[in-house]
Amino acid sequence: MTLDYYNENADAYCQTTRHTDMASTYEVFLADLPAGAHLLDAGCGSGRDSAAFLAQGYRVTAFDGSREMATLAAHWVQQQVQDTRYFTISTRRFDEVNEVSAYDGVWASASLLHVPAAELPDALTRLWQSVKPGGRLYFSFKLGQGERSDSLGRHFTDADESQLRAWVSSLQQAGELKLWRSGDQQGREVVWVNGLVYRVIDP
């Protein structure tokens, strides 16, 4: 039902999220990445973040589980970024991610939160396996505990810092983990818990 919602309301959702200011989070995620690094925008939504990364000279691969959302994101990025030679986008789910050591950074902003709790360890592992040694994975959840559905029929898995630590503890070669809270950039009464974990370089 979550994907049905985004397929049916893709345009309205994109309009409300496309101009959200994520600059401070980008700064943390992108710090010390090499020029031209290859990023995965996992659950790209409106394409806002993909466009921002491309504009800063990074290569971007993106996907979204919603076919309609991925289509709108592709159009948006093409309108915002002059050179899209280093951009690819597709429709797929987290359980279809099978790349190994492909990306310098994986960005999963407010996307994993729609995955049922029982499936989250597998989704995180798949994303993690796609990170190169020395790379990093970013993710964010609404602060809370347990699973719920909102009034629109979307599924949410909420999390707090202890839950993020538990998920990360199962990832192989996980190094430094940064955790921080942030307010909602759209003015809603929502607290976000953010995680950034670095993959250690192979010995």
Cα end-to-end distance, the chain, whole Å = 44
Choices 1.20.1250.20, 3.40.50.150, 3.40.50.300, 1.10.645.10: CATH for 2-199: 3.40.50.150
| Interval 101-130: pLDDT, tens | 999 999 999 999 999 999 999 999 999 999
pLDDT of residue 99: 98
SS3 112: helix
pLDDT of residue 203: 64
Residue 185: pLDDT over 80: no
Residue 67: pLDDT over 70: yes
Kindly state the average pLDDT of the residues 166-176.
96
Residue 187: pLDDT over 70: no
The residue assigned the tokens 């790349």 is 99
**Cα–Cα distance measured from residue 26 to residue 168, given in angstroms and rounded to the nearest whole number:** 21
Contact 38, 101 (CB under 8 A): no
Under the banding of pLDDT at 50, 70 and 90, the label for residue 189 is confident
- Provide the residue ranges of all domains of the chain, joining segments of one domain with +: 2-199
C-alpha separations of 172 from 104, 111, 169 in Å: 16, 22, 8
Residue 166: pLDDT over 80: yes
The CA-CA-CA angle for residues 173, 109, 154, to 5°, reads 120
Beta carbons within 10 angstroms of residue 180's beta carbon: 13
Entry pTM? 0.95
Token duo for residue 93 = 């789910």
Contact 135, 121 (CB under 8 A): no
| Interval 69-113: pLDDT, tens | 999 999 999 999 989 999 999 999 999 999 999 999 999 999 999
Contact 146, 159 (CB under 8 A): no
Kindly state the average pLDDT of the residues 129-142.
97
Residue 202: pLDDT over 80: no
Kindly state the average pLDDT of the residues 28-49.
96
Q: Which of 14, 11, 88 is nearest to 53 (CA)?
A: 88
Residue 1: pLDDT over 80: no
Distance of CA 197 to the CA centre of its chain: 13
pLDDT of residue 98: 98
**Cα–Cα distance measured from residue 203 to residue 97, given in angstroms and rounded to the nearest whole number:** 26
Under the banding of pLDDT at 50, 70 and 90, the label for residue 2 is very high
